[in-house]
Amino acid sequence: MTPRELLDKAQELLLAKDMSGFADLWATDGTMEFPFAPPGWPTRLDGREAVREYLSGYTDVFDIKRFTALTVHETTDPEVIVVEMEVEGLMVRTGETYQRRYISVITVRDGHIAGYRDYWSPLGMTAETDFTVTA
C-alpha cells in the first residue's frame, strides 16, 4: 500500500475500533514515536507487537468518532507523508468530549508502516486518559 492508502486504512480501522488490525499495518520492525509524550508514557515503540500491546487498552479509554480537518502533505520522498488532522470522540470512562489535533509523519516500506511519528499535545490529559502501557 502507498502511504495515503495506509492512512485511509488506519483511519478506517481506528473508527471500527480494530486496534489489532491497526497494529497489523506496521512492518514487523516498524516504530511508533511520541516526541511530546507526557512523563510516564513511552516515547518510542519498537516493532509491530509493541504497537499492538500498547494499543490493547485503547478502546477502553478513547472512542474515536471522526477525523476532521485532514490535510495530507506529499513529500519529495514517495514513501513519506505528513498528515495534519483533528480527532473527535469521547473519553469512555467519563463521557467527556475528546478533541485533539495531531501532526503525524508516516514512513512506508514494502506496503507497511516503517515509522510513525505522532506529534500531539498532552496538555489537558487527565488520569482518565491513562491506559496501561506494557511496551
Domain ranges of the chain: 3-123
Write the CA distances from 88 to 52, 62, 84, 109, integer angstroms: 22, 10, 14, 29
- Render the burial of 84-96: b for 16+ CB within 10 Å, e for the rest: ebebebebbeeee
pLDDT at residue 20 in the model: 97
Angle made by CA atoms 42, 108, 26, in degrees to the nearest 5: 50
Total length of the chain: 135
Please choose, from the candidates 10, 1, 19, the residue with its C-alpha nearest in 3D space to the C-alpha of residue 102. Answer: 10
Average pLDDT over residues 49-76: 95
Q: Say if domain 3-123 classifies as CATH 3.10.450.50.
A: yes
pLDDT at residue 122 in the model: 72
Choose between 42 and 83: higher pLDDT.
Answer: 83
Average pLDDT over residues 37-52: 93
pLDDT at residue 124 in the model: 58
Task: Report pLDDT digits (tens) over 105-116.
Answer: 999 999 999 999
Give phi and psi for 56, each to the nearest 5: -60, -30
